[in-house]
Every structure is written in structure tokens, then in C-alpha cells.
Amino acid sequence: MVNKINENIYEVPIGYRMGMRVPGRLFVSEKLLKDVELGTIDQVANVATLPGIVKYSMAMPDAHLGYGFPIGGVAAFREDGGVISPGGVGFDINCGVRLLRSNLEAKTVQPLISTLIDNLFEAVPSGVGATGRLHISDHELTEAFIEGAKWAVGQGYGVKADLEHCEESGCMSGADPSQVSIRARKRGRPQLGTLGSGNHFLEIQRVEEIFDQTMAQRFGIFEGQITVMIHCGSRGAGHQICTDHLEVLSRAVHKYKIDIPDKQLACAPLGSSEAKNYFGAMVCAANYAWANRHIIAHWTREVFDKFFGDVKLELIYDVAHNVAKIEEHRVNGTLERLYVHRKGATRAFGPYRNEVPEAYRDIGQPVLIPGSMGTPSYVLCGSDKALELTFGSACHGAGRIMSRTQAKKTFTGHDVKAALSVKGIKVKATHPAMLAEEAPQVYKSSDEVVDVVHNLGIAIKVAKLMPLGVSKG
């Protein structure tokens, strides 16, 4: 049912299921394709039925079963005749990753890793039910919704230079706080400045290998260097915003007579009040997430300063991997304004796009692909090929391969922790039980996924980072 088009490109033909408007495209190797569940291909096909979809319904190399869109799903919709769907963004709006580079070498940090991770675990609230160290007013929450990371800098968290190194400068325009419910505010307010749980983490890493010296130099990365990666999102604020608007958009599909194959693909025509309201609320959550990662980075810097004196922890880049954005892309030779949905996918723009920070504009944006606790993370550089093939997108991680129920049957949290310790990786988590479901073995090999991205040319490998210590909720 899936046809090979080229090396690492497979097509789900129109006709795979009723109502497909465009074909599906899976960007996977033959080896990775074997692990792609039938349900994932069904989800790619479902997305292809949505009105106004352009070119293809796409799945990145880490694609796996999700809800609505597959995880690793990318789809773009015409402003005229297209739709916006929370199923293409997810509940954790602007779940994303940021990477900080330090002026420290691994040999300085490694002997202290255990206490360093303990201190970070204390400094950055995490875990189920965690509330932040911040006590913000409702008015301040509104400001965070509108200004994102810019608001955090104004409050003394992080520095202005950081903003240039965030996607959207950490503040996406179009926020409409009037579309955020009291319930979403109630969930989000106490949680600003918290990491969350599950696959979210704060990780200290060592630069293990450089693949492209010139690009690495531009990103300020060198072998043996210590980097810090932060992976988290918009917490309860985003989850509730999505829940609230999913309900509105579920009604909108009847009102606008849109046939959807999956209720989670509820959507509204672009230009309708329902679509505008969802977009305005989604931007609030996206900005909240940038503020959140900014605050967490600030506390991380404080801990590093306490340990090593005046350390330079500079932001390389911060990317969103669950978001819908208005972008210009060339379609059949014409530049069009599209609503690009990335659900578990990272933007990977090449050189000379205005959206890429000035510091990287002539080479392309950093693309951050986190591994799991025991596997490497990668830094890549976006390329023109991504604009041609994937609306400027790449994968966002390794991708799960084993279900949570299966993981719990196979591993215990204590075993996972001990196995990582043998590899020299210190893990601190609220409860070891959570570690079983996030064992390195439940994910695909990040090496394989990243190689497909590199070989397709949608992003170029720059550096490989190995975990030394991980703090998890």
C-alpha cells in the first residue's frame, strides 16, 4: 500500500483511504519503515483528507502513532480554503527544546555531575502536581501569554541576547488572551516555571563528536564542551487551551460541513471566527512555553554559577515542535501564505529565510533533535532542501517504538537507573517508576533517524551530544 518514490521517501497514494485530497509522504529509511505501525499510516492518510491541504500529508523519520496527526506529522493548509486543527498541534502546545552552550569542558563538570544534577533537580520544580517557585498574578500571566520570553526577560529571567536565539524571538505575534478560559488560567498560573514530567527533561551533555566544523564553530560548539538541553512545553495552560478549543472546533465541523475521519482532527476554515480564536489562544500557550523555558534556563544558570563561578551559558537556539504557524512557501513556483502544522516536528529552515536569527542567517537555523536518557542528541543545520521537500521541517526526536504498557512489563525504573549509571549517566527523577516508561530501549535509534534527515538533506549533521546527567519529573 506504500510505494517507494526515492531513497528514504515513500508515498501513501490517494485512494489508500476515501477522501484523500493529496498523497501522503513518509520520510523514512527501509529499516525505519518496518517499525511504522499501520495506524500511523492511517493517520497520515486521515490528515490528507482535510480541506485545503497543500502538496502532501507528511511524516518525519521519527513518525509513530499519535492522536489526530501522527507524531512527526507535518501538513500545510492554504489560507484560502484551508483549515486549522488542534489535532495538528497537540495538547502540549509549543512543547520544544532549547540548547545552551557553556564555556566549560566535560572534565571540569564530570566529577561533580551527581551533586550538580541534585541541585538542578531542586532548583527546577518538576514532577506530577509540581507548582512553580513563581507566584504570578493573573495580570502577569496575561503578559506572559502576550510577550512570552520577552516578558520573562523583563522580569529578570535571562538576558535580551537570548531572545534573538529563540524561534519567533520567543514571542509569537497574534496572541489573544481573551480566548484563554479561566480554567486554562487556573491550570497554567501555578505551573509557570515547571518542567513537567513524562518525556520532559533537563539534561547536561558532553559534545561527543563534531560532523561539520564550520557550522559547529558558528553555533559555538566544540568537542568535549558541556551543553545543557531543556525539553518542556506549555504545561496545563496549553493542555486546557487545546481541550477548550477542541470542543469549539468539534462543533465547527458540523457548522461548516467538514467531513473528518477522526474526531481529534476537528478543525475550522481559516478566516472563520472559530479558527481565529483557536489560533489566538494557541499563540498564548506557545508564548507561555517560551517564557517557561526561559525561566528554567535562568535557574539552570544560577546553579552553574554556584558550582563553577561566572559561567557563560549562552542560548544556541530554542525550537518549537508542536505548533501551527503562518509561513510563506513556494508552491508550484508561486509564493503562498500557508498555515504549517508541525506535530512532533521541528522547523528546519535553511539560509536566507528572515525567520532565521541574524547570527545564523547565512547558514541556516540550528535544528535540535533530542535523544532519550541514554542515547545521543543531535544538532543539525536546516537547509534549502527542507523547504523543497518538507515545508522546512525535520524530525523532533527519536520516536517511540515500544508502548508504555509493554515498557512497564519489560523494565523497572530501578533497573533503568542502574543501567544508565553503569554508562556514566546520572539520572534524578521524582519517582523511578516514571523511568521504566522512558527507558532508552522504548525509542528508535536516534542515530538512524538523524541519518535519514541528513541523507535526505533536509538538515545537515553538525554535532552529537551525549548525556552525562538528567533531571526528570
Partner 1 sequence: MKSFEYLEHTADIKFRAYGQNIEEMMNNAALALFNAMTDTSVVQINKTWKVKLSAPDLEQLAYYWLSELVFLFETELTIYSKFNVKVHHNQEWILLAQIGGERIDPKKHAFDNEVKAVTLHEFVVNKNDVWCIQVVLDV
Residues marked as catalytic: 396
Q: In the numeric block, which cell numbers belong to residue 82?
A: 484551508
User: Among 14, 65, 113, 326, which residue interacts with partner 1 (rule: CB under 8 A)?
Assistant: 65
Q: Helix, strand or coil for residue 14?
A: coil
Quick one: 80 or 138, whose CB is closer to partner 1? Answer: 138
Shortest CB 297 distance to partner 1, Å: 22
Quick one: which H or E segment has residue 472?
strand 459-472
Give the binding range for partner 1 (CB under 8 A) out of 86-94, 117-125, 167-175, 215-223: 86-94
User: Among 23, 24, 52, 66, which residue interacts with partner 1 (rule: CB under 8 A)?
Assistant: 66
**Contact status: 62 vs partner 1 (CB under 8 A):** no
Shortest CB 290 distance to partner 1, Å: 18
Contact string 453-472 vs partner 1 (x = CB under 8 A): --------------------
Q: Yes or no: say if 106 and 224 are a contact pair by the CB < 8 Å rule.
A: yes
User: Among 203, 274, 437, 451, which residue interacts with partner 1 (rule: CB under 8 A)?
Assistant: 437
Subset of 226-265 contacting partner 1 (CB under 8 A): 236, 239-240, 242-243, 246, 250, 262-264
What whole-number distance in Å separates Cα of residue 180 and Cα of residue 187?
11
Q: In the numeric block, which cell numbers belong to residue 74?
A: 507535518
- What residues contact residue 403 under an 8 Å CB cut-off, 6+ apart? none
Quick one: 370 or 473, whose CB is closer to partner 1? Answer: 473
Give the binding range for partner 1 (CB under 8 A) out of 12-20, 376-384, 386-394, 433-441: 433-441
Subset of 161-200 contacting partner 1 (CB under 8 A): 183, 186-187, 196-198
Quick one: 90 or 177, whose CB is closer to partner 1? Answer: 90
Distance of CA 162 to the CA centre of its chain: 18
Helices (H) and strands (E) in the chain, counts: 16, 19
User: Among 1, 5, 112, 128, which residue interacts with partner 1 (rule: CB under 8 A)?
Assistant: 128
**CA angle, corner 162, sides to 159 and 163, nearest 5?**
105
- What residues contact residue 251 under an 8 Å CB cut-off, 6+ apart? none
Give the torsion through C-alpha atoms of 398, 404, 406, 409, to 10 deg: 120
**Contact status: 92 vs partner 1 (CB under 8 A):** yes
**Contact status: 64 vs partner 1 (CB under 8 A):** yes
Output DSSP code: residue 128. Answer: T
Contact string 383-412 vs partner 1 (x = CB under 8 A): -----------------xxxxxxx-x----
**CA angle, corner 453, sides to 171 and 397, nearest 5?**
55
Contact string 28-57 vs partner 1 (x = CB under 8 A): ---------x--------------------
Shortest CB 35 distance to partner 1, Å: 10
Quick one: which H or E segment has residue 296?
helix 273-308
Q: Yes or no: say if 324 and 89 are a contact pair by the CB < 8 Å rule.
A: yes
**CA angle, corner 145, sides to 141 and 147, nearest 5?**
110
**CA angle, corner 452, sides to 447 and 454, nearest 5?**
90
Q: Yes or no: say if 377 and 206 are a contact pair by the CB < 8 Å rule.
A: no
Quick one: 198 or 457, whose CB is closer to partner 1? Answer: 198
**Contact status: 157 vs partner 1 (CB under 8 A):** no
Residues that bind partner 1 (CB under 8 A): 37, 64-68, 71, 87, 90-92, 127-129, 183, 186-187, 196-198, 236, 239-240, 242-243, 246, 250, 262-264, 266, 400-406, 408, 430-434, 436-437, 473
